[in-house]
Amino acid sequence: MTMGRFKSTSVAAYERGERTISLERFIELCDLYGIPAQAMLAEILRPENARSVAAIDRELLESTRSTEASLISGFVRQIASLRREQPADAIVLRAGDLEVLATASGEEPTELVTVIRSEDADEDADDDETEGPS
């Protein structure tokens, strides 16, 4: 992937924070991976709690009848389309996705993650009740 310009051990050390990288090499590495350096730097500098991601069960989301679920469902369809992902049962929302969605819903990203997880938990509980004892 790095076409011999970077050793894999060096890249791994950069990722783990065990080795420093010059600005020039950082920009070169970002270019190599097709990621704007400013976007990568913003992700690095973002507080840890803002990096939350949420895995969403797409089938469950489509079946939920709340206003929030409808908003999230439409957004998830757009994200999947933009990522050109193959259809899957679940999708992982990245921190940036959550920020956009939270802005649209008028909630903080952490609150939105809580809502999404509680809907998943509610559905899991409903599944347990309908399956009965094993």
Q: In the prediction, which pLDDT does 79 show?
A: 83
The dihedral built from the CA positions of residue 104, 110, 111 and 114, taken in this order, carries a sign that is positive
pLDDT in tens, 50-88: 454 667 777 777 777 777 777 778 888 888 888 776 777
| Extents of the domains making up the chain | 8-45, 50-131
Whether the pTM exceeds 0.85: the reply is: no
pLDDT lower than 50: segments of the chain: 49-50, 52, 127-130, 134
Q: How many CA atoms lie within 13 A of 8 on its CB side?
A: 1
**50-131: which CATH topology?**
Arc Repressor Mutant, subunit A (1.10.10)
7-20: string of b/e by CB count within 10 Å (b at 16+)?
Answer: eeeebeebeeeeee
Tell me which DSSP letter residue 17 carries: T
Phi, psi of 28 (to 5 degrees): -60, -45
Report the mean per-residue pLDDT for the chain. 75
